[in-house]
Chains A and B, each alone.
Chain A
């Protein structure tokens, strides 16, 4: 019998039930918790951890958390569950949805005005599944994703980013014969008495190009920049050597912020710290500061430069031409992804786009998930 000091958990049976209930509760809050974790939690409770609430909380936190986000959320969940009376706990186990916790991902949606009506249709969106819905979402323009579909869309996008990253990695493994692998040759020929009859070769590791991405975050790109920023983060998993910048009227380097786990925080902090977010566009000026301040260390060796912009420019055309020419001379491939190109009637007639077009190797759209998937083929060759 354990002398538990928690209210309403005075015997062994109660604590076991409560722990199992807690496991169920935090599973409903998207914690990845299985039987092993429940078992470990019961073990620590039996070992006497349950005698002190704080220590018990620390122990359960280490067992149930898998990531930084989990560990930050855990304290709130622990208090929400263990601070209740037994009958309330049972209610919480039965109806976990009665416990409303603001998801961290919702912070990021503030940028897109998606968080205005946070509860509207959330459950409905989650309940809609099936291949037709997924296919439709893949071809939906980023700017037309409704509030109802945002959860499902984010989930789908996340899966696709992972798949793209994985596929790109797998392609790397297929390689031609490279130089002689001395270690493997010696080992393979030990049975031949040390005579080198079978030669082993080292698979040549493909040298990946450095990827430079310049994302337009001006007002006209508002509906796209959030999704495209996520795409950049996904690329980071594949291209270790990636440099990312955002621009509108000013340029800002964001390479070190590209962690998926921190993405939502990054977007919020960016929108707060970048005074030009959702502002006008002066591509020429921004490229000038890119060339002056960053080109000396990023535009060297084998580089691919990707512009993610609609090309709506209010700056000087001559300056834009001069700067893009400078980049073109120093990069192996210049790719321009324009979300507007997704519409049927689009023609690159804006002055910014017209100026840049002669220097672009690949001009493609980036308005929905399908167009991003197509980009995978371009990137696989670089």
Chain B
């Protein structure tokens, strides 16, 4: 399909190597207008996919970072209370009636738009709405999202219902720290981003770091692929590969040795028990295994 290959090429130009499967799914997002739920291990490029999609569409990326306790005030809208109070005090001096007062202070001038409201009030074209790490948010918030994702409208009691002029392209990401509800999943297209294979990861790192030499790049990625097979608490993602490659290049390291790995292992593994586990198994042994 021309459109799918166009996405592959365009994303490549924008610095994101996308395979045909993800490109097809992204095309469906644009075509069907359904939200996309992207799952995968941390650091495989879920968030990046959304930001590149926004760049590809030449539209805004509106990001909502989820966390435990995220509520409507932080995600949809909030009234600017200080401004409202000031306005009331000022109008007390002028002879304005109470009803006029109330009407004025609940207008859009006093409204603080949060990401979700911003996404549906976009005037020019459909933005990309990234709801990042939805698994961190509470179930109540997830239930609220269901309504928004079905009808793309938000009700503000004082203003009425606001319906999206341009339906945003919604991408939700999750690291699977908890189960998402079946209802939310069913409203979305689904795609699992796996760790890339060796060749793809070479291309990804090269895209970010064109100056890196092939020998060191191959060595470090082989090492990473070996340790991904171990049962680590947090295996290295693509972002760790890129970080490590950058570190090795900036340190001027041309060959991967036990000492070099030992010094820079913190770029790859972010957990002391994982580091300990790899050291116990023996870095030399792992380097030998890769070759």
Contact = CB atoms under 8 A, between A and B. Distances in A.
Contact of A62 (B79, B85, B139, B190): B190
Contacts of A52: 1
Interface string B1-31: 1001000000000000000110011001001
A261 interface: yes
Given A32-B182, A67-B190, A194-B89, A62 B176 contact: no
Given A32-B182, A70-B190, A237-B178, A62 B25 contact: yes
Contacts of B36: 62
A193 B92 contact: yes
Interface string A26-51: 00000010101100100110011101
Interface in A44-74: 44, 47-49, 51-52, 54-55, 58-59, 61-63, 65-68, 70-72
B133 to A, nearest CB: 14
Interface string B52-96: 000000000000000010000100000101001100110010000
A72 B31 CA distance: 24
Interface stretch (A183-191, A209-217, A329-337, A342-350): A183-191
B1 A67 contact: no
Contacts of A44: 28, 31-32
Contacts of B186: 32, 34, 36-37, 66
Contacts of B165: none
Interface residues of B, number: 40
Main secondary structure on chain B at its contact with chain A? helix
Interface residues of A, number: 45
Given A186-B85, A187-B79, A260 B20 contact: no
Nearest to B34: A40
B1 A55 contact: yes
**In this complex, which of A36, A37, A66, A191 has the most chain B Cβ atoms within 10 angstroms of its Cβ?**
A66
Contact of B102 (A47, A191, A237): A191
Interface of B: 1, 4, 20-21, 24-25, 28, 31-32, 34, 36, 39, 68, 73, 79, 81, 84-85, 88-89, 92, 98, 102, 105, 139, 176-179, 182, 185-186, 189-192, 231, 233-234, 273
Given A34-B186, A71-B192, 9 more contacts: A49-B24, A55-B1, A61-B21, A62-B28, A68-B39, A193-B92, A236-B178, A253-B273, A260-B179
Interface of A: 32, 34, 36-37, 40, 43-44, 47-49, 51-52, 54-55, 58-59, 61-63, 65-68, 70-72, 169, 183, 186-187, 190-191, 193-194, 236-237, 240, 253, 256, 259-262, 269, 273
